[in-house]
Amino acid sequence: MKIALFSAKGYDKDYFDRINKNYHLSITYFETGLNKDTSNLTLGFDGVCVFVNDNLDKETIEKIAANGIKVIALRCAGFNNVDIAAAQANNIKVVRVPAYSPEAVAEHAVALILTLNRKTHKAYNRVRESNFSLEKLTGFNLHNKTVGVIGTGIIGKAFCNIMLGFGCHVVAYDVYASDELKHKGVQYVSLDELLKQSDIISLHCPLTPETKHIINESAFTKMKNGVMLINTGRGALVNTQDAIKALKDQKLGYLGIDVYEQETNIFFRDLSEEIMQDEIFARLMTFPNVLVTAHQAFFTGEALEQIATITLQNLSDFENGETLVNEVKG
Protein backbone atom coordinates (compact mmCIF):
# COMPACT_ATOMS: atom_id res chain seq x y z
CA MET A 1 0.00 0.00 0.00
CA LYS A 2 1.29 3.45 -0.95
CA ILE A 3 1.10 6.14 1.73
CA ALA A 4 1.67 9.88 1.38
CA LEU A 5 2.91 11.28 4.71
CA PHE A 6 2.35 15.03 5.00
CA SER A 7 3.89 17.70 7.26
CA ALA A 8 6.93 15.43 7.46
CA LYS A 9 9.91 16.39 9.57
CA GLY A 10 13.27 14.68 9.87
CA TYR A 11 12.24 12.92 13.06
CA ASP A 12 9.10 11.55 11.38
CA LYS A 13 11.18 9.99 8.63
CA ASP A 14 13.70 8.57 11.11
CA TYR A 15 11.10 6.80 13.25
CA PHE A 16 8.73 5.74 10.47
CA ASP A 17 11.53 4.35 8.30
CA ARG A 18 12.97 2.37 11.20
CA ILE A 19 9.68 0.89 12.36
CA ASN A 20 8.32 0.39 8.82
CA LYS A 21 10.91 -2.38 8.40
CA ASN A 22 8.35 -4.50 10.24
CA TYR A 23 5.44 -3.48 8.00
CA HIS A 24 6.89 -2.91 4.51
CA LEU A 25 4.52 -0.13 3.49
CA SER A 26 5.56 2.27 0.71
CA ILE A 27 5.86 5.74 2.29
CA THR A 28 6.53 8.99 0.46
CA TYR A 29 7.28 12.01 2.64
CA PHE A 30 6.02 15.52 1.89
CA GLU A 31 7.20 18.47 3.95
CA THR A 32 4.13 20.46 2.99
CA GLY A 33 0.85 20.15 4.85
CA LEU A 34 -2.22 18.55 3.34
CA ASN A 35 -5.07 20.88 2.41
CA LYS A 36 -7.26 21.65 -0.59
CA ASP A 37 -4.35 23.35 -2.38
CA THR A 38 -1.95 20.41 -1.98
CA SER A 39 -4.49 17.63 -2.45
CA ASN A 40 -3.17 16.95 -5.97
CA LEU A 41 -0.09 15.37 -4.33
CA THR A 42 -2.24 12.45 -3.18
CA LEU A 43 -2.77 11.15 -6.72
CA GLY A 44 -1.42 7.62 -7.03
CA PHE A 45 -1.55 6.87 -3.31
CA ASP A 46 -3.89 4.61 -1.33
CA GLY A 47 -3.77 6.50 1.93
CA VAL A 48 -2.51 9.62 3.64
CA CYS A 49 -0.81 10.10 6.99
CA VAL A 50 -1.41 13.52 8.55
CA PHE A 51 -0.68 15.54 11.67
CA VAL A 52 -2.42 18.18 13.78
CA ASN A 53 -2.14 21.14 11.40
CA ASP A 54 -3.12 19.39 8.18
CA ASN A 55 -6.55 20.62 7.12
CA LEU A 56 -8.85 17.86 5.94
CA ASP A 57 -12.05 19.79 5.49
CA LYS A 58 -14.92 18.69 3.25
CA GLU A 59 -13.37 20.15 0.09
CA THR A 60 -10.00 18.53 0.73
CA ILE A 61 -11.57 15.15 1.48
CA GLU A 62 -13.64 15.23 -1.70
CA LYS A 63 -10.51 15.98 -3.71
CA ILE A 64 -8.40 13.22 -2.16
CA ALA A 65 -11.30 10.77 -2.50
CA ALA A 66 -11.40 11.55 -6.22
CA ASN A 67 -7.67 10.74 -6.29
CA GLY A 68 -8.32 7.28 -4.85
CA ILE A 69 -7.47 7.81 -1.17
CA LYS A 70 -9.18 5.18 0.97
CA VAL A 71 -7.75 5.82 4.43
CA ILE A 72 -6.64 8.80 6.51
CA ALA A 73 -4.17 7.92 9.26
CA LEU A 74 -3.77 10.57 11.92
CA ARG A 75 -0.47 10.31 13.74
CA CYS A 76 -1.96 12.09 16.74
CA ALA A 77 -4.86 11.66 19.15
CA GLY A 78 -6.99 14.66 18.18
CA PHE A 79 -9.10 14.61 15.03
CA ASN A 80 -10.76 18.04 15.08
CA ASN A 81 -8.93 18.92 11.84
CA VAL A 82 -10.74 16.17 9.91
CA ASP A 83 -14.33 16.39 8.66
CA ILE A 84 -15.36 12.91 9.79
CA ALA A 85 -18.80 13.12 8.17
CA ALA A 86 -17.25 14.02 4.82
CA ALA A 87 -14.79 11.14 5.13
CA GLN A 88 -17.60 8.68 5.80
CA ALA A 89 -19.63 10.10 2.91
CA ASN A 90 -16.68 9.45 0.62
CA ASN A 91 -16.00 5.95 1.99
CA ILE A 92 -12.67 6.95 3.53
CA LYS A 93 -11.70 5.32 6.82
CA VAL A 94 -10.12 7.51 9.51
CA VAL A 95 -7.78 6.06 12.12
CA ARG A 96 -5.79 7.74 14.85
CA VAL A 97 -3.30 7.19 17.66
CA PRO A 98 -5.50 7.48 20.77
CA ALA A 99 -2.62 7.06 23.22
CA TYR A 100 1.08 7.25 22.56
CA SER A 101 2.74 8.60 25.68
CA PRO A 102 0.32 10.36 28.01
CA GLU A 103 3.17 10.89 30.47
CA ALA A 104 5.06 12.96 27.86
CA VAL A 105 2.29 15.55 27.59
CA ALA A 106 1.50 15.49 31.32
CA GLU A 107 5.15 15.97 32.24
CA HIS A 108 5.46 18.89 29.81
CA ALA A 109 2.47 20.56 31.46
CA VAL A 110 4.31 20.26 34.77
CA ALA A 111 7.46 21.68 33.15
CA LEU A 112 5.47 24.74 32.08
CA ILE A 113 4.11 25.13 35.62
CA LEU A 114 7.52 24.89 37.26
CA THR A 115 9.20 27.15 34.72
CA LEU A 116 6.56 29.87 35.02
CA ASN A 117 6.45 29.56 38.81
CA ARG A 118 10.16 29.40 39.62
CA LYS A 119 11.21 31.49 36.59
CA THR A 120 14.01 29.10 35.68
CA HIS A 121 14.09 30.39 32.09
CA LYS A 122 14.80 33.90 33.35
CA ALA A 123 17.32 32.67 35.93
CA TYR A 124 19.16 30.74 33.20
CA ASN A 125 19.49 33.86 31.04
CA ARG A 126 20.66 35.96 34.01
CA VAL A 127 23.37 33.52 35.04
CA ARG A 128 24.61 33.31 31.44
CA GLU A 129 25.22 37.07 31.72
CA SER A 130 26.89 36.73 35.16
CA ASN A 131 23.84 38.25 36.84
CA PHE A 132 23.29 36.27 40.04
CA SER A 133 20.62 38.50 41.54
CA LEU A 134 17.46 36.85 42.88
CA GLU A 135 15.36 40.01 42.54
CA LYS A 136 11.95 39.36 40.93
CA LEU A 137 12.49 35.60 40.79
CA THR A 138 10.18 34.79 43.70
CA GLY A 139 8.00 31.72 43.11
CA PHE A 140 5.51 29.80 45.23
CA ASN A 141 5.23 26.31 46.70
CA LEU A 142 3.12 23.86 44.73
CA HIS A 143 2.52 21.91 47.93
CA ASN A 144 -1.03 22.46 49.24
CA LYS A 145 -2.08 24.47 46.18
CA THR A 146 -5.38 23.60 44.46
CA VAL A 147 -4.88 22.35 40.92
CA GLY A 148 -7.88 22.15 38.61
CA VAL A 149 -7.78 19.60 35.81
CA ILE A 150 -10.25 19.94 32.95
CA GLY A 151 -10.40 16.56 31.23
CA THR A 152 -9.29 13.37 32.97
CA GLY A 153 -8.66 11.04 30.07
CA ILE A 154 -5.34 9.23 29.91
CA ILE A 155 -3.28 12.44 29.76
CA GLY A 156 -5.34 14.23 32.40
CA LYS A 157 -5.09 11.16 34.62
CA ALA A 158 -1.29 11.10 34.29
CA PHE A 159 -1.18 14.80 35.12
CA CYS A 160 -3.38 14.32 38.20
CA ASN A 161 -1.07 11.60 39.49
CA ILE A 162 1.95 13.89 39.16
CA MET A 163 0.28 16.79 40.93
CA LEU A 164 -0.90 14.52 43.75
CA GLY A 165 2.76 13.61 44.15
CA PHE A 166 3.58 17.29 44.70
CA GLY A 167 1.11 17.33 47.57
CA CYS A 168 -1.47 19.39 45.70
CA HIS A 169 -5.20 19.31 46.27
CA VAL A 170 -6.52 18.18 42.87
CA VAL A 171 -10.03 18.98 41.66
CA ALA A 172 -11.29 17.83 38.28
CA TYR A 173 -14.05 18.37 35.78
CA ASP A 174 -15.03 15.73 33.22
CA VAL A 175 -18.24 14.31 31.81
CA TYR A 176 -16.98 10.89 32.91
CA ALA A 177 -15.46 10.74 36.39
CA SER A 178 -12.62 8.30 37.06
CA ASP A 179 -13.19 6.01 40.04
CA GLU A 180 -9.45 5.38 40.12
CA LEU A 181 -8.70 9.09 40.53
CA LYS A 182 -11.48 9.55 43.08
CA HIS A 183 -9.97 6.71 45.11
CA LYS A 184 -6.63 8.55 45.05
CA GLY A 185 -8.20 11.73 46.39
CA VAL A 186 -9.12 13.70 43.27
CA GLN A 187 -12.38 15.56 43.84
CA TYR A 188 -14.75 15.96 40.89
CA VAL A 189 -16.61 19.28 40.86
CA SER A 190 -18.59 21.41 38.42
CA LEU A 191 -16.68 23.53 35.92
CA ASP A 192 -17.70 26.72 37.70
CA GLU A 193 -16.52 25.36 41.05
CA LEU A 194 -13.20 24.29 39.53
CA LEU A 195 -12.66 27.77 38.07
CA LYS A 196 -13.40 29.36 41.47
CA GLN A 197 -11.23 27.05 43.60
CA SER A 198 -8.10 26.54 41.51
CA ASP A 199 -4.72 28.22 41.89
CA ILE A 200 -3.57 26.42 38.74
CA ILE A 201 -5.79 25.20 35.90
CA SER A 202 -4.55 22.70 33.33
CA LEU A 203 -6.47 21.77 30.17
CA HIS A 204 -6.48 18.14 28.99
CA CYS A 205 -9.84 17.77 27.25
CA PRO A 206 -10.33 17.18 23.52
CA LEU A 207 -11.42 20.01 21.24
CA THR A 208 -15.09 19.60 20.35
CA PRO A 209 -17.86 22.10 19.56
CA GLU A 210 -18.75 21.93 23.27
CA THR A 211 -15.22 22.64 24.51
CA LYS A 212 -14.17 25.28 21.99
CA HIS A 213 -13.28 28.42 23.99
CA ILE A 214 -14.17 26.66 27.22
CA ILE A 215 -11.80 29.23 28.69
CA ASN A 216 -13.22 32.61 27.71
CA GLU A 217 -14.03 35.98 29.25
CA SER A 218 -16.84 34.49 31.33
CA ALA A 219 -14.55 31.74 32.65
CA PHE A 220 -11.81 34.23 33.55
CA THR A 221 -14.24 36.29 35.67
CA LYS A 222 -14.87 33.22 37.83
CA MET A 223 -11.18 32.50 38.46
CA LYS A 224 -9.01 33.64 41.34
CA ASN A 225 -6.88 36.71 40.78
CA GLY A 226 -3.39 35.67 39.71
CA VAL A 227 -4.41 32.17 38.59
CA MET A 228 -2.05 30.11 36.44
CA LEU A 229 -3.47 28.63 33.22
CA ILE A 230 -1.75 25.80 31.34
CA ASN A 231 -2.85 24.47 27.95
CA THR A 232 -1.21 21.43 26.40
CA GLY A 233 -4.45 20.27 24.77
CA ARG A 234 -5.69 22.18 21.73
CA GLY A 235 -5.27 25.87 21.05
CA ALA A 236 -8.93 26.67 20.55
CA LEU A 237 -9.81 25.55 24.08
CA VAL A 238 -8.75 29.07 25.03
CA ASN A 239 -10.05 32.29 23.52
CA THR A 240 -6.68 33.99 23.05
CA GLN A 241 -8.01 37.54 22.89
CA ASP A 242 -9.88 36.98 26.16
CA ALA A 243 -6.67 35.59 27.67
CA ILE A 244 -4.79 38.74 26.61
CA LYS A 245 -7.41 40.90 28.30
CA ALA A 246 -7.16 38.77 31.45
CA LEU A 247 -3.37 39.19 31.39
CA LYS A 248 -3.68 42.97 30.99
CA ASP A 249 -6.20 43.11 33.85
CA GLN A 250 -3.85 40.95 35.99
CA LYS A 251 -6.64 38.43 36.52
CA LEU A 252 -4.43 35.86 34.79
CA GLY A 253 -1.13 35.73 36.65
CA TYR A 254 0.63 33.14 34.50
CA LEU A 255 -0.08 31.58 31.10
CA GLY A 256 1.75 28.54 29.76
CA ILE A 257 0.72 27.22 26.36
CA ASP A 258 2.06 24.52 24.08
CA VAL A 259 -0.75 25.09 21.58
CA TYR A 260 -2.30 28.14 19.97
CA GLU A 261 -5.57 28.77 18.12
CA GLN A 262 -3.90 29.89 14.89
CA GLU A 263 -0.73 27.84 15.16
CA THR A 264 -0.96 26.31 11.68
CA ASN A 265 1.17 29.00 10.03
CA ILE A 266 3.56 29.38 12.95
CA PHE A 267 4.46 26.17 14.74
CA PHE A 268 6.82 23.52 13.32
CA ARG A 269 8.55 26.21 11.20
CA ASP A 270 11.66 28.39 11.59
CA LEU A 271 10.42 31.98 11.40
CA SER A 272 13.43 33.53 13.12
CA GLU A 273 14.29 35.71 10.11
CA GLU A 274 10.72 36.77 9.39
CA ILE A 275 8.33 39.40 10.72
CA MET A 276 5.57 37.88 12.84
CA GLN A 277 2.36 38.46 10.89
CA ASP A 278 0.00 37.18 13.57
CA GLU A 279 -0.63 40.30 15.67
CA ILE A 280 -2.50 38.44 18.39
CA PHE A 281 0.37 35.99 18.88
CA ALA A 282 2.89 38.83 18.76
CA ARG A 283 0.95 40.64 21.50
CA LEU A 284 0.85 37.49 23.59
CA MET A 285 4.63 37.21 23.43
CA THR A 286 5.10 40.67 24.97
CA PHE A 287 3.91 39.55 28.41
CA PRO A 288 6.68 38.57 30.86
CA ASN A 289 4.39 36.04 32.56
CA VAL A 290 3.59 34.09 29.37
CA LEU A 291 5.54 31.00 28.33
CA VAL A 292 5.01 29.45 24.90
CA THR A 293 6.41 26.21 23.55
CA ALA A 294 5.73 25.18 19.96
CA HIS A 295 3.56 22.05 20.28
CA GLN A 296 6.40 20.00 21.75
CA ALA A 297 4.59 18.43 24.70
CA PHE A 298 4.36 15.09 22.86
CA PHE A 299 7.97 15.26 21.71
CA THR A 300 9.85 12.43 23.41
CA GLY A 301 11.57 9.44 21.88
CA GLU A 302 9.10 7.11 23.55
CA ALA A 303 6.14 9.02 22.11
CA LEU A 304 7.57 9.20 18.59
CA GLU A 305 8.18 5.46 18.61
CA GLN A 306 4.64 4.76 19.80
CA ILE A 307 3.14 7.14 17.23
CA ALA A 308 4.98 5.49 14.36
CA THR A 309 4.22 1.97 15.58
CA ILE A 310 0.49 2.51 16.14
CA THR A 311 0.07 4.50 12.90
CA LEU A 312 1.76 1.80 10.84
CA GLN A 313 -0.25 -0.91 12.59
CA ASN A 314 -3.46 1.01 11.80
CA LEU A 315 -2.49 1.19 8.13
CA SER A 316 -1.44 -2.46 8.06
CA ASP A 317 -4.76 -3.49 9.60
CA PHE A 318 -6.60 -1.50 6.93
CA GLU A 319 -4.53 -3.07 4.14
CA ASN A 320 -5.19 -6.57 5.46
CA GLY A 321 -8.89 -6.07 6.13
CA GLU A 322 -8.46 -6.43 9.89
CA THR A 323 -10.64 -4.74 12.49
CA LEU A 324 -9.66 -1.07 12.85
CA VAL A 325 -9.43 -0.77 16.61
CA ASN A 326 -8.47 2.91 16.39
CA GLU A 327 -11.06 3.98 13.84
CA VAL A 328 -12.72 7.36 14.30
CA LYS A 329 -16.45 7.27 13.59
CA GLY A 330 -18.98 10.08 13.44
- The CATH code of the domain that includes 82 is 3.40.50.720
| Same structural domain, 161 and 204 | yes
Q: What is the pLDDT of residue 302?
A: 95
329 falls within a domain: no
pTM for this prediction: 0.90
212 falls within a domain: yes
Q: What is the pLDDT of residue 146?
A: 98
326 falls within a domain: no
Length of the chain, in residues: 330
Q: What is the pLDDT of residue 77?
A: 86
328 falls within a domain: no
Q: How many structural domains are present in the chain?
A: 2
| Same structural domain, 64 and 79 | yes
325 falls within a domain: no
Q: What is the pLDDT of residue 236?
A: 96
d(CA 202, CA 83): 27
Structural domain for 27, as ranges = 2-100+300-319
Mean pLDDT, consecutive 10-residue stretches, the chain (330 aa), reads: 97 98 97 97 98 95 98 93 97 93 95 98 97 97 98 97 98 97 98 98 95 98 98 97 98 98 92 95 97 96 96 98 94
| Same structural domain, 92 and 111 | no
Angle of helix 301-319 versus helix 10-19 axis, rounded to 10: 60
| Same structural domain, 81 and 129 | no
Residue 166: is it exposed, middle or buried by C-beta count within 10 angstroms (0-12/13-18/19+)? Answer: middle
33 falls within a domain: yes
d(CA 302, CA 298): 9
C-alpha distances out from residue 211 to 42, 239, 304, Å: 32, 11, 27
List active site positions.
Answer: 234, 263, 295
| Same structural domain, 237 and 310 | no
286 falls within a domain: yes
| Same structural domain, 308 and 243 | no
Q: What is the pLDDT of residue 209?
A: 93
